[in-house]
Amino acid sequence: MHEKVIEIVGIDPVTVFGVNEQKLKLIRKHFPKLKLISRGNTIKVMGEPEEVEQFEKKWELLMKHMNRYNTLTENNIENLLLQEEETIPFKDHGETIVHGNGGLKIKARTANQRKLVKASQDDDMVFAIGPAGTGKTYTAVALAVRALKNKEVRRIILTRPAVEAGENLGFLPGDLREKLDPYMAPLYDGLRDMIPAEKLAEYIENGIIEIAPLAFMRGRTLDNAFVILDEAQNATTSQMKMFLTRMGQSAKFIITGDITQIDLPRNQKSGLVTAIDSLKKVEGISVVKLDENDVIRHKLVKKIIEAFKDVK
């Protein structure tokens, strides 16, 4: 009798075993010669060595599916356990960028969002410019999560200028991360849609996903990473130059911003505006512009953007 204990890491065991172990009961039917016992975030497998080895191979397929699509239904289990490994395609379908929680298909939903996806595939540095609600940050985060899942990068780095915080972070309660979290909320929101909570916490704890203010990028080399600079219109020219020159080997950069909502003092020019003007003809850098036609929020948002278009 051979015994093997397999740990489930970064996934809620209920998602795998099912409520009242309904999914585990289905798995047991496919391995009648094995004894399978679930305890917390582990499963103990007992039986003949050949049977245990076969189970491990199939279990790896189940986890691979779960990690890619963030869902594992009874139908998924049935199909995965009945088919041979080489016949199971693990690929994105159609315009799906990545599968979010519960199998949610996260897609580029407008023409310019599709341009952003294509630009990121073609070039290592992309500027995505457009008003609020056009999905530029959300699409960028989806591309970063896909790259991490596909092992194209080792980590994701998300950053933005904490302009509103200025020099007044000290009066806010909590440690530095708690002070900065409100400024990083849009980045967290996208990640929470795309990565299960336990795995996201694990990624952040282990530094696989890093969310930090722009000032923390100084002096670093960002390699083997998918890096997103959000709200880039609030970076000064010197900050923008500092950030862009952090780019290391095998890195992807997406810089998002809205040049109509600059919060810098009047005597400071936005580094995003400077960068677009200076780099627009550089090979390997793309600029994708989104507009009110890309807005996917409430229908009034599109009308508000249109109404404010000529207001200075």
CA pair distance 214, 192, nearest whole angstrom: 21
Q: Give the amino acid at 153.
A: V
What's at 42, amino acid-wise?
T
> CB–CB of 255/272 below 8 Å?
yes
37 vs 57: CA distance, rounded Å: 18
pLDDT in tens, the chain (312 residues): 788 999 887 778 888 888 888 999 999 999 999 999 998 889 999 999 899 998 998 898 888 888 777 778 888 888 888 765 544 444 444 578 888 787 778 888 888 999 999 999 999 999 999 988 888 999 999 999 999 988 899 999 999 887 554 434 555 556 556 666 676 777 888 898 898 888 888 899 999 999 888 888 999 999 999 999 999 999 999 999 999 999 998 999 999 999 988 888 888 899 999 999 999 889 999 999 998 878 766 667 767 777 877 665
| Domains, the chain | 2-87 (3.30.1370.10), 96-308 (3.40.50.300)
Half-sphere exposure of 68 (CA within 13 A, CB side): 16
Read off the pTM.
0.69
Residues 6+ apart with CB under 8 A from 278: none
DSSP string covering 246-311: TB-TT-EEEEEE-TT---S-TTS-BHHHHHHHHHTTSTTEEEEE--GGG--S-HHHHHHHHHHTT-
Q: What is the DSSP string of 107-172?
A: E--SHHHHHHHHHHHH-SEEEEE--TTSSHHHHHHHHHHHHHHTTS-SEEEEEE--TTTTT-GGGS
Give 269's contacts (C-beta < 8 A, 6+ positions apart): 236, 237
Q: What angle do CA 259, 262, 268 make, to 5 degrees?
A: 110
Helices 237-244 and 271-279, interaxial angle, to 10°? 60
- Structural tokens at position 308: 């404010």
Helix pair angle (176-194, 136-149), 10° resolution: 80
